Amino acid sequence: MKESQPSAILLKDYKVPPFLIDKTELTFDLDETNTVVTSHLHMRRNPACGKSTQPLVLDGGEDIKLIGVAMDGYTLPSEEYRLVDDKLIITATADEFVLTCETLIDPQNNTRLEGLYRSSSMFCTQCEAEGFRHITYYLDRPDVMSVFTTTIIADETRYPVMLSNGNETERGKTDEGKTFVVWHDPFPKPAYLFALVAGDLAVKNDVFTTQSKRDIKLQIFTERHNIDKVNYAMEALKRSMRWDEETYGREYDLDIFMIVAVDDFNMGAMENKGLNIFNSSCLLASPETTTDDAFLRVESVVAHEYFHNWSGNRVTCRDWFQLSLKEGFTVFRDQSFSSDMHSETVKRVEDVSFLKTAQFAEDAGPMAHPVRPSSYIEISNFYTLTVYEKGAEIVRMIHTLLGEEAFRKGSDLYFERHDGQAVTCDDFVAAMQDASGVDLTLFKRWYSQAGTPVVTVTDEYDEQTKTYRLTVKQHTPATPAQPTKLSLHIPIRVGLISEQGDALTADFHNERSDDFVLHLKDNEQTFEFTSVHSKPIPSLLRSFSAPVKLHYEYTTEQLLLLLSCDSDGFNRWSAAQQLAVNELSQLIQQAENGDAFSIDSNLVAGFKALLEDETLDPAMVALILKLPSQAYLSELAEVIDPQAIKGARHFLKVTIANALAAQFADVYKKHVVMGKYQANAQDIAHRSLKNTALSYWAESADQRAQTAVAEQFKQADNMTDQFAALSIAVKTNHKSAQNMLTAFYEQWKAEPLVVNKWLMLSASQESDDALGAVKALMEHPSFDLKNPNKVRSVLGGFGQNTSGFHHKDGSGYQFLADQIIVLNKRNPQLASRLCTPLTRWKKLKPELSVQMKQQLERILAEDLSKDVYEVVSKSLA
């Protein structure tokens, strides 16, 4: 452990910057290990600070070397500046001056993948959140916005493509015969949106004509061997550009928009102005190498980064506590886009299951924090599901409260009022409120309060007066640093259904309808509906109108009725999930008690009806058939017993499979997609149902299913079907599973993204020596500790390996801790994210819990990066 521990940054300490940087001129003399960066910063004291004599304090990093610093051309002698804790401090400055800095950096040995680094044979940058300070000394904070001009100097034979933000304005030769290229970005931006790329890259060109008839040049760059895999991303980009014009009235601003794919990247992608940089896993796609899920991910990430041009770049964040201002809003925008491109219900179900599985777990654990946190040690740790996904739910609730039209007025006002500014979540809400007249004062608590509210509903129907009452209570459990909670403004969309399954109308607040939005604001409220002709079954929280845990004592019959009759597609799925959860909870209990498994046949009957009804949307049927995941059941559990959960799920799946083997075989055959592969909603739906049916059929005693799996693996002409067959073979212990894994690797070893899928699946394979197998994977020639995708594939796959990861001797936890310790220094961001499974230690059953805790303590004893220190110390607190 270090002597002194890193300290927290607090929202309440925010102060405007004492200096502004009007213009930033950068020159990069690129070299693998010795890149020289020269900056000219046109600075002045911030008039908002009044008359001040504060020193100039610039952010830097331990990995940059200061060669020299000059002010208005005068080279400062060493006594006129100080370097303290990676900061460059200059005491005497004029009110306005040009600061020149020269730094030396080593991109080749930059394993943190922040700042300027090398990936394969190219140079690239990642500056969000605080990466720019690893390039040069700067006011590295989002409220300092500057106009950037960037000159790149390199050897053209090795780096023919040299890119930065904005437009290329000049190109020529230096005296030494190198090539230089100048880029100018006219839009002021914070340093976190700066980008530079250089390499021997292939390009795909296209054009988009905007609503005002401007032609925008579109370019996607990749390493040469990947350029045949960018067509889908290019089409997705054009769809995104059109959608943002039509839905938000937002047109692209520069004349050129570029995307570059890189293999080594900590996150999914980055919205740098005019020059997005993508993890290749979120950009490259082809039918042979990419699954349906991955196609959809490419489309949504392309859209997400493009949408940031307005929600993030034109209007940016004042400070990093406001991260959800851009991320929550942009996730909401990309979700709406995907919903419009495909199926609204399917998209909502997928987003909500993810939220309820992973974000709810985060919000109930030691790292729980508000959507707008009030404190952090390392900001990289706050690119979380809470800031992104719960943040998007907050924007969605505002959309529900205002309605489509007023929401659009609100977003128009927000973009108009704050264009070119760095603002706060409060500013966003104020624009929504001012444009709509809807009072959002109470609603704003969603930003500052952590934890998932629990909403409990009871009801009564009065036959005599035809009155129906819903009593709704809310309670948010305590989270770290927030022991007491306030009540929230929760929009609850409710529908009423008769016992025959028809919509049931009622009077409520002078409106007669069968669908209402209730505004829960107090800890307890009763809502009264009149002229209700028969006893209703409530369809609660339609479309998941708020990110809460809902409790209502539904009977099995009521759930079956909702499943078959609710006009809200989301709640039909929700009812099915509840039925499955009820069944699984009993089975998990039986497993924990060591009792024999026994199940109720209701679920089987419900599934049978579903499989035999040919009028249903195959995508919905597939979603409903998917049993609640191990992770979701763990989130719901009071105390997690991984083996019991796994055993219960497996028993239920096999039971359903055997009861309905004939139906699954039939559905499997009926939903084979004919013709050329297409990643459209319809074909994806059929493949999804077909492969879900196969996953059940293969669990049954019907031997023909085994043949079907092997045949599909061999004959598939697309990755979705091939990988589905392989996964099913591995999960069901198919007799050829091992041969299939080997054959798959041999077939795809030249495609790193496919190899990553193979690594993940192999690492998740349950066996008596799962840990040994994972250790072997990390020695495999295809593995590379420098590549975050590969690390995440192997360790992520291992995390799903119940027998290996949760081994009772603690060896699985110890192994993960070993990897975290190795990566702690090399790549702190990645190391910190790998800690997530260990942060759940308190919820595990006691024998496992102590083992996990020991590993956290072992990690804490190391000399830690801020990133890992924050997560591990908070988890143990």
Binding site for ligand PHE (CB under 6 A): 126, 128-129, 267, 269-271, 304-305, 308, 327, 383
Q: Which does 128 bind (CB under 5 to 8 A by kind): ligand PHE, Zn ion, none?
A: ligand PHE
CA distance 148 to 687: 48
Q: What is the 3-state secondary structure of 697-765?
A: HCCCCCHHHHHHHHHHHHHCCCHHHHHHHHHHHHHCCCCCHHHHHHHHHHHHCCCHHHHHHHHHHHHHC
Min. distance of Cβ 323 from ligand PHE in angstroms? Answer: 9
470 to 458, 486, 502, 508: CA distances (angstroms): 6, 22, 19, 12
Min. distance of Cβ 244 from ligand PHE in angstroms? Answer: 15
Peptide bond into 129 cis (omega under 30): yes
- CB atoms inside a 10 Å sphere around CB 78: 9
CA distance 495 to 515: 4
Q: Which of 439, 360, 356 is nearest to 402 (CA)?
A: 439
Min. distance of Cβ 353 from ligand PHE in angstroms? Answer: 21
Contact 148, 121 (CB under 8 A): no
Nearer to ligand PHE, 64 or 129 (CB): 129
Min. distance of Cβ 607 from ligand PHE in angstroms? Answer: 38
Burial class of residue 176, CB neighbours in 10 A (0-12, 13-18, 19+): exposed
Min. distance of Cβ 383 from ligand PHE in angstroms? Answer: 5
Q: Which does 830 bind (CB under 5 to 8 A by kind): ligand PHE, Zn ion, none?
A: none
Edge-to-edge, what's the strand order for the sheet holding 74-75?
A: 74-75, 65-71, 96-105, 35-45, 19-29, 146-154, 179-189, 167-173
Angle ∠(192,828,191) on CA atoms, nearest 5: 10
Task: Respond yes or no: is residue 305 known to be catalytic.
Answer: yes
Contact 506, 518 (CB under 8 A): no
Alpha helix (H) residue ranges in 403-521: 404-418, 425-436, 445-448
What is the separation of C-alpha 589 from the centre of its chain, rounded to a whole number of angstroms? 33
Nearer to Zn ion, 129 or 254 (CB): 129
Q: What are the residues binding Zn ion (CB under 5 A)?
A: 327, 330
Min. distance of Cβ 35 from ligand PHE in angstroms? Answer: 21
Q: Which does 130 bind (CB under 5 to 8 A by kind): ligand PHE, Zn ion, none?
A: none
Q: Which does 575 bind (CB under 5 to 8 A by kind): Zn ion, ligand PHE, none?
A: none
Nearer to ligand PHE, 305 or 867 (CB): 305
Length of the chain: 877
Does residue 110 sit in helix, strand or coil? Answer: coil
Q: What are phi and psi of 162, to 5 degrees?
A: -130, 115
Nearer to Zn ion, 300 or 330 (CB): 330
Tokens at residue 358, please? Answer: 């992973």
Q: What are phi and psi of 218, to 5 degrees?
A: -110, 135
Min. distance of Cβ 262 from ligand PHE in angstroms? Answer: 11
CA distance 95 to 712: 72
Q: Which of 429, 428, 446 is nearest to 438 (CA)?
A: 429
Nearer to ligand PHE, 291 or 384 (CB): 384
Can you give the C-alpha Rg of the chain in angstroms? 28
Question: Which member of 25, 305, 393, 635 is catalytic?
Answer: 305
Nearer to ligand PHE, 380 or 819 (CB): 380
Nearer to ligand PHE, 129 or 844 (CB): 129
Tokens at residue 840, please? Answer: 């759940």
CA distance 35 to 198: 13
Min. distance of Cβ 286 from ligand PHE in angstroms? Answer: 24
Q: What are phi and psi of 194, to 5 degrees?
A: -70, 145
What is the identity of the amino acid at 638? E
Q: Which of 455, 352, 444 is nearest to 398 (CA)?
A: 444
Nearer to Zn ion, 330 or 436 (CB): 330
Nearer to ligand PHE, 127 or 667 (CB): 127
Tokens at residue 635, please? Answer: 């989130």
Min. distance of Cβ 330 from Zn ion in angstroms? Answer: 5
Nearer to ligand PHE, 330 or 732 (CB): 330
CA distance 591 to 215: 63
Q: Which does 455 bind (CB under 5 to 8 A by kind): Zn ion, ligand PHE, none?
A: none
Min. distance of Cβ 270 from Zn ion in angstroms? Answer: 8
Contact 832, 380 (CB under 8 A): yes
Q: Which residues are catalytic?
A: 305
